Amino acid sequence: MQVRVLFFATLRDLVGARQLTVEMTATSSTVAQLRQTLIATYPAIKDNLGIALAAVNEEYAFDKDTIRDGDEVAFFPPVSGGSLENPERPEVFRLPDQAINHDEIIAAISTPRTGAACLFTGLVRGQTERDGHIPRTESLEYEAYRPMALAKMKQVAQEIRGQWQKVEGIAIVQRIGKLQVGDNTVLIACSAPHRDDGCFEAARYGIDRLKEIVPVWKKEIGSDGQAWVEGSYRPKVEDQAGS
């Protein structure tokens, strides 16, 4: 059987390709067996692939899960468009390569009932005093597993709605591409009729959850070198959509 394999962040650099077509001898296999096949072909990825997360057909998968002919399998490290179908509960999900217009996003998730909006936005830092980071950053490079990232953004919005029923509008926007110090990188915004209707808490939950399950990574680039920043969160079965 043939499987299309996608690599992101550090794995992409080690393999030297974003995607490969892999031939498997059996008519079905598991994620664990595919890992071993890849390691046998690309020994340099052994350590990174051993701890990498997996997705089959744009949903988180685990080593015991079966893969079949024609499946798309993605491997990536732990993570570091818009919809207005319901005008009373607007949602925006985007992966732009241009600056985020905060006013435009707030307008997009506002309704005649909106009296409050809470917005979190991230910026490219030029200096970082944390282990595992380059001390002085000149730029960042973001990449995403686009179709899965958009699907997981929608999942985060559904989780927000399950906990804060009075939140009406939700926007989740993550920039990709190369960004300079001071550029905005990410935006989470939630709107509601009143400020005490959960929009503060929902926005905080949204950015924390994005960092856990939305497959987006960044590479820090500076005069001292460059490195992909990888997270530590390991997805659970309940992180799969519909669980």
pLDDT digits (tens, 9 = 90+) for 32-59: 999 999 999 999 999 899 889 999 999 9
So what's the pLDDT on residue 85? Answer: 59
Q: Which two tokens stand for residue 157?
A: 């919005």
Query: Number of helices and strands (H, E) in the chain?
Result: 6, 16
Question: In Å, how far from its chain's centre is CA 213?
Answer: 6
So what's the pLDDT on residue 215? Answer: 94
Per residue in 186-227, pLDDT (tens digit) is 999 999 999 999 999 999 999 999 999 999 999 999 988 898
So what's the pLDDT on residue 86? Answer: 72
CA distances in angstroms from 44 to 30, 161, 176, listed in the order given:
21, 43, 27
Closest by CA to 206, choosing from 240, 148, 167, 166, is 167
The strand pairing partners of 170, in sequence order, are 91, 190
Decide if pLDDT at 81 tops 50.
no
Mean pLDDT of the chain: 91
Decide if pLDDT at 83 tops 70.
no
Closest by CA to 216, choosing from 158, 171, 184, 177, is 177
Q: What is the pTM of this model?
A: 0.78
Q: Which two tokens stand for residue 196?
A: 């005490």
